[in-house]
């Protein structure tokens, strides 16, 4: 992480603390309500440049016997880190780099709580980090961090999606750009 990062003020479009942070795109695998096979994650704005996220670990997310697949957990972190970027960016961002530390096994049936924050920003780069805890389920312990993540996100313009917009599956009820922010 560069040492010349700044911590910007929150953008006006970011919800007040405790309010839901809406899905960014209804077809998103992580948060969209028009993605039936998706993860249906939900998010709430924190007190500062942070968000809280929730994921129910469904049986179909299995990797090893009885535990969450690492790729699913990575996707959840990607979503949580991307969502917190909305606290300082009033427009789209995409993931440039994502790293995960898998600290404890996460059983199917768990409810995971994610806490993601902005670490800093410079030019188009936004650095964010997050941790996950099991808050419901067989091994729930809100004092234990079961995984952590750091990511680099880049702000992009709407043109970034110009080449792929024709591949959208079906007609979204709330097209990108009008669905949320
Ligand atoms: C599913 C997307 C939905 C988006 C909708 C958004 C709306 C709502 C908004 C917000 C909520 C978001 C919630 C989303 C959650 C899920 C997000 C995802 O999973 S996104 C899919 C995976 N990611 C990609 O598909 C990117 C593929 N990569 C690219 O398109 C390019 O590589 C891109 C845009 C990331 C950078 O390319 P360049 O040409 O625009 O920029 P250059 O000039 O190369 O880099 C700019 C700076 O960034 C650094 N940089 C770029 N990539 C880096 C990397 N991998 N590692 C380190 N630095 C990197 C460079 O060194 C440069 O730094 P210097 O300013 O010079 O200091």
Per-residue pLDDT tens over the stretch 136-160: 999 999 999 999 999 999 999 989 9
pLDDT digits (tens, 9 = 90+) for 7-51: 999 999 999 999 999 999 999 999 999 999 999 999 999 999 999
In this structure, is residue 105 part of a structural domain? yes
pLDDT at 174 over 70: no
pLDDT at 178 over 50: no
User: And the tokens for 124?
Assistant: 């188009």
In this structure, is residue 14 part of a structural domain? no
Domain that holds residue 154: 42-163
Looking at the structure of the chain, the number of domains it has is 1
In this structure, is residue 157 part of a structural domain? yes
Residue 82 is classified by DSSP as H
C-alpha to C-alpha distance for 62 and 125, rounded to whole angstroms: 33
In this structure, is residue 23 part of a structural domain? no
In this structure, is residue 63 part of a structural domain? yes
pLDDT at 177 over 70: no
Residue 172 confidence (pLDDT): 73
Residue 171 confidence (pLDDT): 74
Tell me the CA–centroid distance for residue 95 and ligand 1, in Å. Answer: 5
Residue 67 is classified by DSSP as B
- The pLDDT-based confidence of 166 (bands split at 50, 70, 90) is confident
The predicted model gives 50-63 an average pLDDT of 98
- The CATH code of the domain that includes 59 is 3.10.129.10
In percent, how much of the chain has pLDDT > 90? 87
Tell me the CA–centroid distance for residue 55 and ligand 1, in Å. Answer: 24
In this structure, is residue 133 part of a structural domain? yes
C-alpha to C-alpha distance for 120 and 94, rounded to whole angstroms: 16
C-alpha to C-alpha distance for 5 and 177, rounded to whole angstroms: 28
pLDDT digits (tens, 9 = 90+) for 85-103: 999 999 999 999 999 999 9
pLDDT at 175 over 70: no
Pocket test for ligand 1, best of 90, 94, 130 (most atoms within 8 A of CB): 94
In percent, how much of the chain has pLDDT > 70? 96
pTM for the predicted model, two decimal places: 0.95
The predicted model gives 93-116 an average pLDDT of 98
Phi, psi for residue 154 in degrees, rounded to 5: -115, 130
Tell me the CA–centroid distance for residue 35 and ligand 1, in Å. Answer: 23
Among protein residues, the one with the nearest Cα to ligand 1's atom 3 is: 94
In this structure, is residue 59 part of a structural domain? yes
In this structure, is residue 33 part of a structural domain? no
The catalytic residue positions are: 78
Pocket test for ligand 1, best of 96, 159, 167, 174 (most atoms within 8 A of CB): 96
């Amino acid at each position: 992480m560069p040492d010349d990062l700044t911590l910007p003020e929150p953008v006006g479009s970011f919800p007040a603390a405790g309010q839901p942070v809406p899905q960014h795109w209804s077809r998103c695998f992580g948060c969209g309500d028009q993605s039936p096979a998706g993860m249906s994650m939900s998010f709430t704005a924190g007190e500062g440049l942070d968000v809280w996220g929730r994921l129910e670990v469904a049986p179909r997310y299995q990797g090893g016997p009885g535990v969450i697949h690492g790729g699913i957990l990575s996707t959840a972190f990607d979503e949580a880190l991307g969502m917190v970027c909305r606290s300082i960016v009033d427009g789209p961002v995409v993931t440039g780099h994502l790293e995960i530390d898998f600290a404890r096994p996460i059983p199917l049936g768990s409810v995971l709580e994610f806490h993601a924050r902005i670490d800093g920003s410079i030019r188009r780069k936004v650095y964010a980090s997050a941790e996950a805890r099991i808050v419901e389920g067989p091994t729930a312990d809100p004092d234990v961090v079961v995984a952590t993540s750091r990511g680099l996100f880049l702000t992009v313009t709407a043109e970034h999606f110009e080449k792929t917009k024709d591949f959208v599956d079906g007609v979204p009820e709330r097209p990108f750009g009008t669905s949320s922010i």
